[in-house]
Structure 1
Amino acid sequence: MQEIKCPKCGEVFQIDEAGYAEIVKQVRTREFNDELQRQKSAMDSEKKMAVELAVSKANSEKDNQIAALKNQLEVRNNELNNMKDKSAAELKIALSQKEQEITQLRSAIEANKSKTELEVRTALQEKESQIQDLQSKLKIEQSEAQLRENALKDQYTAQLKAKDETIAFYKDFKAKESTKQIGEDLEQFCLAEFNKNRAIGFQNAYFEKDNEVSKSSGSKGDFIFRDFSGEGEDKIEFISIMFEMKNQADETATKHKNEDFFKELDKDRTEKKCEYAVLVSMLEEDNDYYNTGIVDVSYKYPKMYVIRPQFFIQIITILRNAALNSLEYKREIAQIKNQNIDITNFESDLNLFKDKFLNNVDLAMRQHSSAIEEIDKAIKTLQKIKDLFEKSDNNLRLANNKLEDLTIKKLTRNNPTMKKKFEEL
């Protein structure tokens, strides 16, 4: 129960919870509505005042802006009027200056007119002399070009004639030979060409048929060329060439190409440890690429060339001369190899001595270990014997002590008969 005191009469009375909550609710709702109404009235009045203030402020700003714009417009008009007056005066001054400049230029042109005509005449004369010089030079160059053209024509005519003669020679050469003889005679031709020049520049050279069939590939080349520098211990091989000769008759049904033999030739060169590989070929006789002479095919197989038979001696000479330039390096390499061989032999002998010495040391160590084991066994046996002797000495000592401790009295202590006998004695 709640007690409530009346504010007017001062009487105190009690009311339950529900009635008290209802009274509180009524009072709170009335006060809330009154406060809400007061705040609404205040907001309306403030809003009205703010609107009036904003309207008056906007009107005053608008009037100020209009006045400022009018002032700016008057200033602009004044400036334009001033500029018009000023521009007219400046324009008159500029026109007078331009007229003076035009007058001066006209007088300068008249003064320089005579001088310009003289310079033009001089320049024209110089140009004409230069043109004449160029024309004379052109005639000289044309004559020189004609001479060079004629020389080139004569050179190409001679080369073409030589080529035609070579082709005719080989066609006649093929026509006279059988299919087997063609290949064999090409080898004989190369061998004869080499023997003609052997005494001139290949005194130390080796050039023989390759008769050894390779075990791995089952093939062999035709000829091997090797050349050496020096003799005896100083003899050094500085170049080696594997030669393969290929030819075929014109009426052969299956026409081979030079490329068909590159792989086998490279394999034979590698098996026989030759530095270069050369295919002497009469195949593809109409192929201008191979008819140029010496063809380098190193882009497919290293240090490989294809030649026509007439360039046989030339390719040997070119490769041999190129190898001679590196002969000194090969001598140094051979010397280093020999030194390495000597060092290797020394190291081999040293390693052999070390192996034998280590074997003897190992054998001695094993024997030493066996001897130590035997000594250990002997020590153990002697230790056992020593222990037995010590036990024997101990037993003898005990026996001696027992013997020394033995008396007649002890012997006859429990034997009256023996005691009586000893006493009688």
Structure 2
Amino acid sequence: MSEIICPHCNKAFTIDESDYAKLIAQVRTKEFDKEIHEKIQAESDKQKASFELAEQRIKTKHQADIAEKDKLIESLNSQIDKSETEKELAISNAVTEKETEISELKSQIKSAESEKEIAVNQAIKIKDEEINKKNEEIAKLKAEIENKTTEKDLAVTQAITEKNSEISDLKTQIKTAESEKEIAVSQAVKDKDDELNKKDREILELRSQISNKETEKQLAISQVEQKKDSEIASKNAEIQTLNSTIELKENERKISEQTLKNNYEEQLKMKDEQIEKYKDFKQRLSTKMVGETLEQHCSIQFNQYRMTAFPNAYFEKDNDASSGSKGDFIYRDYSDDGTEYISIMFEMKNEADITTTKHKNEHFFKELDKDRNEKKCEYAVLVSMLESDSELYNSGIVDVSYKFPKMYVIRPQFFIPLISFLRNAALKSLEYKKQLLMIQHQQADLTTFENNLETFKNSFLYTYENAKKKHQEAIDGIDKAIAQLTKIKEALQTSDKHLNAANNKLESELTIKRLTKDADSVYDKLIEIREEK
């Protein structure tokens, strides 16, 4: 029985262990629900922020593309305006030059006409002065005639006759001068008319050139306008294409967002189902069943994805306890050609909330690393429900490689994601592993070859040493035999000498005469036998 003080009324009351356990379970369940809700909300906010960031990036990129195209269109329009301005300036300069030239020609024509008029007026003035002078002389002479006396009438008459003749000559000269003046004026007018006609022709030619230049200008402007219209149409088509692409990308983004949203909602639904399952587990489990149920849960969860996500994988319980300990599950995955590219040793740890003795995850690291090394697994993963209040282990996949290499601690909901993550990472290095395995096989073959070569060398050396020893023994035997034969040879040579000496002695001393010396009867008998033969 336990005594509890109410925080509101400050009254003490007692409860039994079952009520206490229910109260603790209720508090922990609320905290667990609150924690799950906060994690789901945080994940939702994170996903939403990710979507908004992706959308903002796409919009920024599209706006940058549109701004770049607008800038390009503005640059092209500026080039068109600049080209038209340059063309108009060139035409204006040409027209100004021609107008200046025409004005100069007109000024020259006016100057020529003025000079012609001045020359005519000057000639008329000169002739008028001469006529006036003659008229003055005539008047003077008439006055003199009137003042002369009668006696001088003849002289006067003669003088008058002379003067009349002179006047006639002067009139003739005046007529001639007037005729010459008219001819000069006519010639000057003709020259000026010819010059005016020439200038008119030049003006017509210049106007024709100006008209041609105007036509060329209009043609050039038309060509430039057509070219620019074509470029603008092309740019408009390109802009339309870009707008279509942007719209398509926008639709793809919306579809992708909807797909991600659906996947996220599906994942949330799955997480909710898992949470409900965990809640149901926590309500139904007994202390004895906790560990086994976590193993069964992970096994069932893996088998649900086995044929779709892990068709070539091996995932079974570790039943080999020959070394004194064993893990819970071993996961191995293979490529289509049978090459193993990843292996994981799993250890599942759980305990009931009302368990008095609380364990920590790090208490199992050393044993898990030992099991991993004995079973030759690359990774070690502790699937744990221990330390349920730990922010570190509740944050997700925890890498504890700083204590033991390639070791992770996860909650059950990260069981499949961690396998997928490690498997995908290993798949990327599969080709390198194949090459490494090939090199290792080649190295193993080379080592085997070197070992075989060393064995052969040792065997050959042993045989060679034995043969060499026997050969030396044979040589020694031959040397001994040679020495023995040499002795025998020397003995035989000595014997031969003795035999030769004996033979010589036999030949020289073995005669009937010498043998029968002092034996006359024997000698006679031998002579008798020889004679009988």
- Give the alignment's TM-score, normalised by structure 2: 0.43
Q: Structure 1 pair 223/298, CA: closer, same or farther in 2 (3 Å)?
A: same
- Whether 1:193 aligns to 2:301 is yes
* 1:301 aligned counterpart, secondary structure: coil
- Whether 1:383 aligns to 2:491 is no
- 2:320 matched to which residue of 1? 212
- Whether 1:253 aligns to 2:253 is no
**Percentage identity across paired residues of the two chains:** 60
Q: Distance in 2 between matches of 1:221 and 1:172?
A: 27
2:42 pairs with 153, 156, 161, which one?
Answer: 156
Q: Distance in 1 between matches of 2:352 and 2:397?
A: 22
Cα distance, 1:175 vs structure 2: 3.4
Q: Structure 1 pair 383/214, CA: closer, same or farther in 2 (3 Å)?
A: same
2:330 pairs with 206, 224, 242, which one?
Answer: 224
* 1:180 aligned counterpart, secondary structure: coil
Cα distance, 1:258 vs structure 2: 0.6
- 2:410 matched to which residue of 1? 307
User: Which amino acid is the alignment partner of residue 205 of structure 1?
Assistant: A
- 2:344 matched to which residue of 1? 241
- 1:136 matched to which residue of 2? none
2:284 pairs with 161, 173, 176, which one?
Answer: 176
Deviations 1:267-302 (A, max 9, x none): 111111111111000111111211112111111111
Q: Distance in 2 between matches of 1:221 and 1:157?
A: 33
* 1:342 aligned counterpart, secondary structure: helix
- Whether 1:369 aligns to 2:472 is yes
- 1:8 matched to which residue of 2? none
* 2:289 aligned counterpart, secondary structure: helix
- 1:274 matched to which residue of 2? 377
2:431 pairs with 314, 317, 328, which one?
Answer: 328
- 2:164 matched to which residue of 1? none
Cα distance, 1:200 vs structure 2: 1.3
User: Which amino acid is the alignment partner of residue 299 of structure 2?
Assistant: L
Q: Distance in 1 between matches of 2:302 and 2:315?
A: 8
- Aligned counterparts, 1:17-32, within 5 A: none
- Give the alignment's TM-score, normalised by structure 1: 0.53
Structure of greater relative contact order (alpha carbons < 8 Å, 6+ residues apart): 2
Cα distance, 1:324 vs structure 2: 1.3
- 1:118 matched to which residue of 2? none
- The total of aligned residue pairs comes to 258
Cα distance, 1:157 vs structure 2: 9.0
Structure (1 or 2) with the larger CA radius of gyration: 2
* 2:352 aligned counterpart, secondary structure: coil
User: Which amino acid is the alignment partner of residue 313 of structure 1?
Assistant: I
User: Which amino acid is the alignment partner of residue 220 of structure 1?
Assistant: K
Query: Is contact 1:294-1:315 (8 Å) kept?
Result: yes
Q: Structure 1 pair 179/345, CA: closer, same or farther in 2 (3 Å)?
A: same
Cα distance, 1:169 vs structure 2: 5.2
What's the Cα RMSD here?
A: 3.7
- Whether 1:284 aligns to 2:387 is yes
- 1:78 matched to which residue of 2? none
Q: Distance in 1 between matches of 2:509 and 2:381?
A: 123
Cα distance, 1:166 vs structure 2: 6.9
Q: Distance in 1 between matches of 2:303 and 2:43?
A: 32
* 1:264 aligned counterpart, secondary structure: helix
**Structure 2 residue runs without a partner (length 5+):** 1-37, 46-267, 525-533
Q: Distance in 2 between matches of 1:282 and 1:393?
A: 113
Cα distance, 1:179 vs structure 2: 2.0
* 2:288 aligned counterpart, secondary structure: helix
Cα distance, 1:251 vs structure 2: 1.9
- 2:421 matched to which residue of 1? 318
Deviations 1:311-347 (A, max 9, x none): 1001101111111111111111112123223333444
Q: Distance in 1 between matches of 2:279 and 2:418?
A: 23
Cα distance, 1:395 vs structure 2: 3.8
Q: Distance in 2 between matches of 1:179 and 1:326?
A: 42
**Structure 1 residue runs without a partner (length 5+):** 1-151, 412-417
More displaced 10-residue stretch of structure 1: 256-265 or 393-402: 393-402
Q: Structure 1 pair 328/406, CA: closer, same or farther in 2 (3 Å)?
A: closer
User: Which amino acid is the alignment partner of residue 181 of structure 1?
Assistant: M
Deviations 1:53-90 (A, max 9, x none): xxxxxxxxxxxxxxxxxxxxxxxxxxxxxxxxxxxxxx
User: Which amino acid is the alignment partner of residue 41 of structure 2?
Assistant: Q
Query: Is contact 1:280-1:309 (8 Å) kept?
Result: yes
Cα distance, 1:249 vs structure 2: 1.3
Query: Is contact 1:226-1:241 (8 Å) kept?
Result: yes
Query: Is contact 1:214-1:271 (8 Å) kept?
Result: no
